[in-house]
Structure 1
């Protein structure tokens, strides 16, 4: 079975909860899934498909557990032309300009490194959706279908 890594950037556990909730959908689609709470660049260098679940903190910042990964991306600037990815960004629209800032920044960074986002980025607004997985589960189901990701 092909490998899928779900890389998580979380402060209070919301993004991790989303990753754990969507994991069975990918397993049912034929993937071996690993959730990475302390991701490193090697987790994406050799991957064909990765899902990012990233919350935004402070003024559009990355959660503390995700900062070393972002620093590695900036320092190493690896060519990620083989990487296809999906992105679930969690945020709070009451923060206006920085809403889903970490997810948006990550998206731009990955694009600059040659990675290809499959489909649209999901932005989950805590002001509208109490449980982020309520938005993430149907999005992942649709994403798997629309991107023809089933291998089972």
Structure 2
């Protein structure tokens, strides 16, 4: 059974909730799924499956505290991520203007700089428009599985 990791960066639990809600969709598609709340570089360098990032933005476009060590390692060690295929769900609040979904956008750029391949478009969930982020994430994941032909079961 192929493996799918969901790497979570959350401050108040919203991104973790999204990860837990979408996990069954991947299991139904034939994946063994791990949700990783304190990701390390090893989670993206030694994993040849697909990775989904669920990342909240805090403050002025910042990464949540639990996700900062992962990002710092990525920047400092600069590993090649040419085998990493990923999707990205970014959570933010458009009332913050320019920094809306700043962490997700910054992560996307960082992964691209290291040679990773994003599958499909990034989902940006706006807390001003969507009270429950999984209301946007569930249909997006269903479409993502279909459009990227990820179903293995």
TM-score, normalised on structure 2?
A: 0.98
Residue 108 of structure 1 pairs with residue 109 of structure 2:
yes
Give the equivalent residue in structure 1 for 2:36. Answer: 36
Distance 2:19 2:41 in 1: 19
- CA shift, 1:46, in A, is 2.4
Residue 15 of structure 1 pairs with residue 15 of structure 2:
yes
What's the secondary structure of 1:15's corresponding residue? Answer: helix
Distance 1:24 1:46 in 2: 24
Superposed CA RMSD: 0.5
Give the equivalent residue in structure 2 for 1:79. Answer: 80
Give the equivalent residue in structure 2 for 1:147. Answer: 148
Give the equivalent residue in structure 1 for 2:54. Answer: 53
Distance 1:34 1:9 in 2: 14
- CA shift, 1:45, in A, is 0.7
- CA shift, 1:70, in A, is 0.2
TM-score, normalised on structure 1?
A: 0.99
Structure 1: give runs of 5+ residues left out of the alignment.
none
What's the secondary structure of 1:78's corresponding residue? Answer: coil
Structure 2: give runs of 5+ residues left out of the alignment.
none
